[in-house]
Amino acid sequence: MNPFSTQHYWLNIDKPLGLSSAKIVAMVKKMTGAKKVGHAGTLDPLASGVLPIAVNKATKTCDYIVNATKKYYFEITWGELRDTDDFEGSIVETSTKRPEISDIIDVLPHFLGEISQTPSKFSAIKINGKKAYELARSNTEFELKPRLIHITQIHLIFNNKTKAGFEISCSKGTYIRSFARDLSMKLGTCGFVSTLRRIEVGQFHINNIISLDKLKNMITFSRVFDDSIFKLRDVLYFMAEIAINDDLYFKVKNGQTIQISFDSSDLNQDNLVKIINNDVIVGLGKISENGLKPTIIF
Protein backbone atom coordinates (compact mmCIF):
# COMPACT_ATOMS: atom_id res chain seq x y z
CA MET A 1 0.00 0.00 0.00
CA ASN A 2 1.23 3.50 -0.82
CA PRO A 3 2.50 4.96 2.51
CA PHE A 4 1.88 8.48 1.22
CA SER A 5 -1.85 7.78 1.04
CA THR A 6 -2.35 6.22 4.48
CA GLN A 7 0.07 7.85 6.90
CA HIS A 8 -0.50 11.06 8.87
CA TYR A 9 2.21 13.65 8.28
CA TRP A 10 3.14 17.16 7.16
CA LEU A 11 4.92 18.34 4.03
CA ASN A 12 6.77 21.62 3.56
CA ILE A 13 5.89 22.48 -0.03
CA ASP A 14 7.65 25.20 -2.00
CA LYS A 15 4.64 26.91 -3.52
CA PRO A 16 5.46 28.28 -6.97
CA LEU A 17 4.24 31.62 -8.27
CA GLY A 18 0.86 31.73 -9.98
CA LEU A 19 -0.84 28.91 -8.10
CA SER A 20 -3.29 29.33 -5.23
CA SER A 21 -2.87 27.49 -1.94
CA ALA A 22 -6.12 25.62 -2.66
CA LYS A 23 -4.69 24.44 -5.99
CA ILE A 24 -1.57 23.11 -4.24
CA VAL A 25 -3.77 21.20 -1.78
CA ALA A 26 -5.69 19.63 -4.67
CA MET A 27 -2.45 18.67 -6.45
CA VAL A 28 -0.94 17.09 -3.33
CA LYS A 29 -4.16 15.18 -2.66
CA LYS A 30 -4.13 13.77 -6.18
CA MET A 31 -0.43 12.88 -6.03
CA THR A 32 -0.54 11.18 -2.63
CA GLY A 33 -3.95 9.57 -2.91
CA ALA A 34 -4.68 10.71 0.64
CA LYS A 35 -8.25 11.08 1.89
CA LYS A 36 -7.67 14.49 3.44
CA VAL A 37 -5.18 17.27 2.71
CA GLY A 38 -5.10 20.80 4.07
CA HIS A 39 -2.75 23.73 4.47
CA ALA A 40 -1.66 25.94 7.36
CA GLY A 41 -2.03 29.52 6.21
CA THR A 42 -3.01 30.79 2.78
CA LEU A 43 -0.25 32.07 0.52
CA ASP A 44 -1.30 34.42 -2.31
CA PRO A 45 -0.93 33.17 -5.91
CA LEU A 46 1.57 36.01 -6.45
CA ALA A 47 3.71 34.77 -3.55
CA SER A 48 6.00 31.76 -3.39
CA GLY A 49 7.71 29.75 -0.68
CA VAL A 50 6.82 27.83 2.46
CA LEU A 51 3.35 26.27 2.42
CA PRO A 52 2.91 23.65 5.19
CA ILE A 53 0.63 20.88 3.94
CA ALA A 54 -1.11 18.45 6.30
CA VAL A 55 -1.98 14.94 5.09
CA ASN A 56 -4.78 12.73 6.42
CA LYS A 57 -5.33 13.09 10.19
CA ALA A 58 -2.55 15.66 10.39
CA THR A 59 -5.23 18.06 9.10
CA LYS A 60 -6.70 17.97 12.61
CA THR A 61 -3.64 19.91 13.81
CA CYS A 62 -3.75 22.70 11.21
CA ASP A 63 -5.08 25.25 13.70
CA TYR A 64 -1.98 24.84 15.85
CA ILE A 65 0.35 25.57 12.93
CA VAL A 66 -1.67 28.42 11.40
CA ASN A 67 -1.02 30.50 14.52
CA ALA A 68 2.77 30.09 14.32
CA THR A 69 5.00 33.10 13.65
CA LYS A 70 5.64 33.65 9.94
CA LYS A 71 8.67 35.13 8.21
CA TYR A 72 8.77 36.68 4.73
CA TYR A 73 11.29 38.12 2.34
CA PHE A 74 9.79 40.83 0.16
CA GLU A 75 10.73 43.74 -2.05
CA ILE A 76 9.01 47.09 -2.38
CA THR A 77 9.27 48.90 -5.69
CA TRP A 78 9.25 52.64 -5.06
CA GLY A 79 7.32 55.32 -6.90
CA GLU A 80 3.94 53.75 -7.59
CA LEU A 81 0.83 53.00 -5.56
CA ARG A 82 -1.25 50.22 -7.09
CA ASP A 83 -4.81 49.33 -6.22
CA THR A 84 -3.85 45.76 -5.28
CA ASP A 85 -0.65 46.86 -3.46
CA ASP A 86 1.31 44.43 -5.64
CA PHE A 87 2.64 44.27 -9.20
CA GLU A 88 -0.61 42.89 -10.62
CA GLY A 89 -2.62 46.02 -9.93
CA SER A 90 -3.31 49.26 -11.75
CA ILE A 91 -1.34 52.40 -10.92
CA VAL A 92 -3.44 54.87 -8.92
CA GLU A 93 -0.74 57.26 -7.72
CA THR A 94 2.93 58.03 -8.39
CA SER A 95 5.73 59.75 -6.51
CA THR A 96 9.23 60.91 -7.44
CA LYS A 97 10.49 60.68 -3.87
CA ARG A 98 12.89 57.83 -3.11
CA PRO A 99 13.64 57.10 0.55
CA GLU A 100 17.20 56.93 1.82
CA ILE A 101 18.39 54.03 4.01
CA SER A 102 18.42 56.36 7.03
CA ASP A 103 14.79 57.35 6.35
CA ILE A 104 13.69 53.71 6.34
CA ILE A 105 15.68 52.84 9.48
CA ASP A 106 14.09 55.78 11.30
CA VAL A 107 10.47 54.72 10.64
CA LEU A 108 10.72 50.93 11.00
CA PRO A 109 10.32 51.01 14.83
CA HIS A 110 6.86 52.53 14.25
CA PHE A 111 5.75 49.16 12.85
CA LEU A 112 7.16 46.90 15.59
CA GLY A 113 5.05 45.23 18.26
CA GLU A 114 1.27 45.18 18.26
CA ILE A 115 -0.07 47.54 15.63
CA SER A 116 -3.30 48.19 13.77
CA GLN A 117 -3.36 47.26 10.09
CA THR A 118 -6.08 47.60 7.45
CA PRO A 119 -5.95 44.68 5.00
CA SER A 120 -5.84 45.22 1.25
CA LYS A 121 -9.22 45.36 -0.48
CA PHE A 122 -7.81 42.70 -2.77
CA SER A 123 -7.44 40.20 0.08
CA ALA A 124 -9.46 37.00 0.58
CA ILE A 125 -11.27 38.35 3.64
CA LYS A 126 -15.00 37.67 3.37
CA ILE A 127 -17.55 40.50 3.42
CA ASN A 128 -21.13 39.23 3.74
CA GLY A 129 -20.10 35.89 2.30
CA LYS A 130 -18.07 37.28 -0.61
CA LYS A 131 -14.30 37.61 -0.82
CA ALA A 132 -13.01 41.17 -0.68
CA TYR A 133 -11.07 40.87 -3.93
CA GLU A 134 -14.22 39.75 -5.75
CA LEU A 135 -16.03 42.86 -4.55
CA ALA A 136 -13.06 45.07 -5.42
CA ARG A 137 -12.83 43.69 -8.95
CA SER A 138 -16.55 44.30 -9.46
CA ASN A 139 -16.09 47.93 -8.28
CA THR A 140 -18.40 47.37 -5.30
CA GLU A 141 -17.90 49.91 -2.52
CA PHE A 142 -17.01 48.43 0.89
CA GLU A 143 -14.72 49.03 3.85
CA LEU A 144 -12.41 46.68 5.71
CA LYS A 145 -11.95 47.17 9.43
CA PRO A 146 -8.42 47.52 10.85
CA ARG A 147 -7.16 44.54 12.83
CA LEU A 148 -4.46 44.10 15.43
CA ILE A 149 -1.35 42.24 14.29
CA HIS A 150 2.06 41.71 15.85
CA ILE A 151 5.39 42.30 14.10
CA THR A 152 8.42 40.88 15.91
CA GLN A 153 11.30 41.88 13.64
CA ILE A 154 11.93 43.87 10.46
CA HIS A 155 15.29 43.85 8.71
CA LEU A 156 16.21 46.09 5.80
CA ILE A 157 18.29 43.98 3.41
CA PHE A 158 19.03 46.59 0.74
CA ASN A 159 17.72 49.85 -0.70
CA ASN A 160 18.33 51.72 -3.93
CA LYS A 161 16.53 54.21 -6.15
CA THR A 162 14.29 51.49 -7.57
CA LYS A 163 13.39 49.16 -4.74
CA ALA A 164 14.19 47.87 -1.25
CA GLY A 165 14.34 44.35 0.19
CA PHE A 166 13.16 43.34 3.67
CA GLU A 167 12.74 40.37 5.97
CA ILE A 168 9.86 40.46 8.44
CA SER A 169 8.69 38.16 11.25
CA CYS A 170 5.02 38.59 12.04
CA SER A 171 1.84 37.08 13.41
CA LYS A 172 -1.02 35.37 11.67
CA GLY A 173 -3.22 37.87 9.83
CA THR A 174 -0.41 40.20 8.76
CA TYR A 175 -0.68 41.40 5.15
CA ILE A 176 2.72 42.16 3.65
CA ARG A 177 1.13 44.16 0.84
CA SER A 178 -0.58 46.36 3.43
CA PHE A 179 2.69 46.74 5.32
CA ALA A 180 4.42 47.90 2.12
CA ARG A 181 1.63 50.39 1.45
CA ASP A 182 1.74 51.78 4.99
CA LEU A 183 5.54 51.93 5.13
CA SER A 184 5.68 53.79 1.82
CA MET A 185 3.06 56.24 3.05
CA LYS A 186 5.01 56.79 6.28
CA LEU A 187 8.07 57.58 4.16
CA GLY A 188 6.11 60.14 2.13
CA THR A 189 6.22 58.15 -1.08
CA CYS A 190 4.43 55.34 -2.92
CA GLY A 191 5.37 51.69 -3.19
CA PHE A 192 4.04 48.21 -3.91
CA VAL A 193 5.18 44.64 -3.30
CA SER A 194 7.01 43.36 -6.36
CA THR A 195 8.49 40.18 -4.80
CA LEU A 196 7.05 38.11 -1.95
CA ARG A 197 8.42 34.83 -0.64
CA ARG A 198 7.46 33.18 2.63
CA ILE A 199 10.56 31.73 4.24
CA GLU A 200 9.24 30.40 7.55
CA VAL A 201 6.07 29.16 9.28
CA GLY A 202 6.92 27.95 12.77
CA GLN A 203 9.42 25.14 12.29
CA PHE A 204 8.81 24.92 8.54
CA HIS A 205 11.78 26.72 6.97
CA ILE A 206 12.87 27.64 3.48
CA ASN A 207 15.91 25.35 3.84
CA ASN A 208 13.79 22.20 4.19
CA ILE A 209 11.11 22.77 1.56
CA ILE A 210 10.42 20.36 -1.29
CA SER A 211 9.08 21.13 -4.73
CA LEU A 212 5.99 19.55 -6.22
CA ASP A 213 8.26 17.78 -8.72
CA LYS A 214 10.34 16.24 -5.92
CA LEU A 215 7.19 15.07 -4.15
CA LYS A 216 5.95 13.49 -7.37
CA ASN A 217 9.26 11.65 -7.84
CA MET A 218 9.23 10.45 -4.22
CA ILE A 219 5.77 8.98 -4.71
CA THR A 220 6.54 7.51 -8.15
CA PHE A 221 9.66 5.72 -6.93
CA SER A 222 8.35 4.98 -3.41
CA ARG A 223 11.24 6.88 -1.84
CA VAL A 224 10.71 8.67 1.47
CA PHE A 225 13.42 11.10 2.55
CA ASP A 226 13.62 11.88 6.25
CA ASP A 227 14.08 15.60 5.64
CA SER A 228 10.97 15.81 3.46
CA ILE A 229 8.34 14.24 5.71
CA PHE A 230 7.43 15.95 8.98
CA LYS A 231 6.05 13.62 11.63
CA LEU A 232 3.15 14.79 13.76
CA ARG A 233 5.11 14.32 16.96
CA ASP A 234 7.89 16.57 15.70
CA VAL A 235 5.62 19.26 14.25
CA LEU A 236 3.89 19.60 17.63
CA TYR A 237 7.23 19.96 19.42
CA PHE A 238 5.90 22.88 21.50
CA MET A 239 3.43 20.61 23.33
CA ALA A 240 4.45 18.51 26.32
CA GLU A 241 4.02 14.73 26.15
CA ILE A 242 2.24 12.18 28.29
CA ALA A 243 3.00 8.50 27.76
CA ILE A 244 0.18 6.07 28.53
CA ASN A 245 -0.06 2.27 28.60
CA ASP A 246 -2.33 0.13 26.43
CA ASP A 247 -5.13 0.01 29.00
CA LEU A 248 -5.29 3.80 29.25
CA TYR A 249 -5.02 4.12 25.48
CA PHE A 250 -8.15 2.00 25.09
CA LYS A 251 -10.01 4.50 27.29
CA VAL A 252 -8.54 7.53 25.50
CA LYS A 253 -9.44 6.09 22.11
CA ASN A 254 -13.05 5.89 23.29
CA GLY A 255 -13.05 9.50 24.41
CA GLN A 256 -12.82 8.86 28.15
CA THR A 257 -11.09 11.23 30.56
CA ILE A 258 -8.29 9.45 32.41
CA GLN A 259 -6.56 10.17 35.70
CA ILE A 260 -2.83 10.64 35.39
CA SER A 261 -0.10 12.45 37.29
CA PHE A 262 1.75 15.21 35.44
CA ASP A 263 4.11 18.10 36.14
CA SER A 264 1.99 21.20 35.45
CA SER A 265 5.12 23.31 34.89
CA ASP A 266 5.59 21.56 31.53
CA LEU A 267 2.20 22.68 30.21
CA ASN A 268 1.59 25.45 27.68
CA GLN A 269 -1.03 28.12 28.28
CA ASP A 270 -3.76 25.96 26.71
CA ASN A 271 -2.89 22.92 28.87
CA LEU A 272 -2.64 20.83 25.69
CA VAL A 273 -0.42 17.75 25.54
CA LYS A 274 0.55 15.06 23.06
CA ILE A 275 -0.63 11.59 24.06
CA ILE A 276 1.98 8.90 23.39
CA ASN A 277 1.43 5.14 23.34
CA ASN A 278 4.22 2.69 22.47
CA ASP A 279 6.37 5.65 21.42
CA VAL A 280 3.80 6.81 18.83
CA ILE A 281 1.60 9.90 19.02
CA VAL A 282 -1.99 8.70 19.24
CA GLY A 283 -3.81 11.92 20.05
CA LEU A 284 -3.94 15.28 21.78
CA GLY A 285 -5.53 16.02 25.10
CA LYS A 286 -6.22 18.74 27.61
CA ILE A 287 -5.15 18.61 31.23
CA SER A 288 -7.53 19.85 33.91
CA GLU A 289 -8.20 19.12 37.56
CA ASN A 290 -10.50 16.34 36.32
CA GLY A 291 -7.68 14.56 34.50
CA LEU A 292 -6.60 14.17 30.87
CA LYS A 293 -9.43 14.59 28.38
CA PRO A 294 -8.68 13.55 24.77
CA THR A 295 -9.53 16.25 22.22
CA ILE A 296 -8.14 14.71 19.02
CA ILE A 297 -7.52 11.03 18.29
CA PHE A 298 -5.23 9.95 15.46
What span, in angstroms and rounded, lies between the C-alpha atoms of 72 and 59?
Answer: 24
What span, in angstroms and rounded, lies between the C-alpha atoms of 257 and 259?
Answer: 7
What span, in angstroms and rounded, lies between the C-alpha atoms of 71 and 197?
Answer: 9
The 8-class DSSP code of residue 20 comes to -
What span, in angstroms and rounded, lies between the C-alpha atoms of 74 and 52?
Answer: 19
What span, in angstroms and rounded, lies between the C-alpha atoms of 79 and 57?
Answer: 47
What span, in angstroms and rounded, lies between the C-alpha atoms of 80 and 254?
Answer: 59
Contact call for residues 295 and 285 (beta carbons, < 8 A) = yes
Catalytic residue flag (residue 246) = no
User: Helix, strand, or coil here: 295?
Assistant: strand
The 8-class DSSP code of residue 269 comes to T
Which of 198, 158, 196 has its CA nearest to residue 177? 196
Catalytic, out of 44, 85, 86, 182: 44
Q: What are the catalytic residues?
A: 44
